[in-house]
Amino acid sequence: MNAEMDSGKYTYDFCRRKCHDGDVQYDGIFFSGVSSTKIYCRSTCPAISPLEKNNSFYQNKALAEKAGLRPCLRCRPELAPDQPIREDSMWQINNIIGRIHQGIFPDGMAKPQLDEFTSIIGVTPTKYWKTIQLGFAKMLLTDTSLSEEEIAKITKFDTSENMVNELFQLYRRDPVKVRKPLKVEVEYGAKSCALLLFYRPPFDWSVLLNYFAARTITGVEKVTGDVYLRSFCLNGQQGWFSLQNVQDTNALRLEVHAPDLSCLMPLVWRVRRMFDLNADPLRLKELFKNDSILGSVWLRHPGIRVPVCWDTFEFTVRAIVGQLISVKTATKLVKNIVETFADDLLISTPKGIKKIFPSASCLRKMGKYSFGLTQNKIAAIEGFSQMVVEGIIDLNDIGNFDTFFQQCKSIRGIGEWTAQSIAMKGLGSKNAFPASDLGIVQAMSADSQRRTPAHINKIAERWHPLRSYAAMLLWTMYGNKEK
């Protein structure tokens, strides 16, 4: 096994065999390097397998580039799914990675944090940033018709000349000459582009779509056929996007329409988080296939994902409103809040997409409006909104879940269930577990013995550090029982 690759099951022979088979389930889990050509590839690359003496393997793209290899122009490593989310105990590292993918340069880090990142990832945050920055720029140059100046702005280069020069140094050829933009219908008054966001199969698109369809806020989002659409306001830029599964390529087709696409890096990161596109189904298989409680339901749903709301603040409002009431009733109440406080979308949009979900500054003082909510729920929404406005809670930089839980639960009306739900479906934690949820309690009490949340939490330790997937499977069990 090569020193560049993690130990364990990812031995040299294992990785070589998976690359030879073109196994798509390992896409983005590791990369194959070829010393004779100085190129590195995805596990799915259709090129002929290199000689053993020339072959090496790397746990991420940045490590391959650190070794002096350039990305393959055929399989395009910049399109591979990202590494699966790390354990909550490593949330700070994962938070840094997420910020980098959103186009935020990793400066101002303390030395212990810097050393921890370098030890775990294998390269410095600055080197990792450069790999992500260049990869995103290459993807936009190849797949869109955006100008070089626009792409440089999106990917945080000082000038388009610097961007093209750095890409030329990495790829050893002019990146402008490999442009093959995906077709997209341009909307009036907006810039438009399409991208393919890859995932590792199996991927249960219909279950995800049904989840969002049951919770769509009229005016903000909708599901039409097999397409999801919603509005956004990101970094001050308004727009809307659509998503559709392209099953034959194991990717979602994302179309974005906005007057200014400078927010494209954080938008793509949020969409990937929403639909859990970085999940590792093989790891879930190892955890659940033979589990005495969840094994049978996992076998029916091996493409399970954890859906995450577009915006953490938005989900927090949804979670507070949804306490002790049905999803259908909660969605209606949230719709009333949106109709009262939301801003109109100021560009041409599809029918039914016309509003932007209200910000924390809009909801910190809800005034005389009750919307059918209890005073405790109104106070909780206002209290959380105030903490976000004042910067006490920074939803874009959650460094520690324990601190976040304490901050949330310091607000009257937010308890353990709400805090765990926010972590899971608002922040994307894969280990959050709302043990007191009615559906989970009912599913875990299938033998007619009603279990307490404390008992359920104890049982759920067997699913650490992926308890959120266990919660999704338990909700599926509960839904099947109800039918």
Question: Does CATH number 1.10.10.60 belong to domain 88-143+146-178?
Answer: yes
pLDDT at 483 over 50: no
| pLDDT single digits (tens) 366-405 | 877 778 899 999 999 999 999 999 999 998 888 778 888 8
- Break the chain into its structural domains and give their ranges: 12-74, 88-143+146-178
Q: What are phi and psi of 71, to 5 degrees?
A: -65, 145
| pLDDT single digits (tens) 43-56 | 999 999 999 999 99
- Domain covering 12-74, topology: DNA Methylphosphotriester Repair Domain (3.40.10)
Burial of 450 (0-12, 13-18, 19+ CB in 10 A): exposed
| pLDDT single digits (tens) 264-279 | 999 999 999 999 999 9
| pLDDT single digits (tens) 147-181 | 999 999 999 999 999 999 999 999 998 888 888 99
DSSP string across 207-256: HHHHHHHTT--TBTEEEETTEEEEEEEETTEEEEEEEEEEGGGTEEEEEE
- pLDDT value of residue 7: 55
Q: Are 307 and 208 in contact (CB under 8 A)?
A: yes
121's tokens: 């990832």
112's tokens: 């212990």
List, edge to edge, every strand of the sheet that includes 31-34: 55-58, 31-34, 39-41, 70-71
DSSP string across 268-312: HHHHHHHTTTT--HHHHHHHHTT-TTTHHHHHH-TT------S-H
pLDDT at 302 over 90: yes
Q: How far apart are CA 13 and CA 59, in angstroms?
A: 15
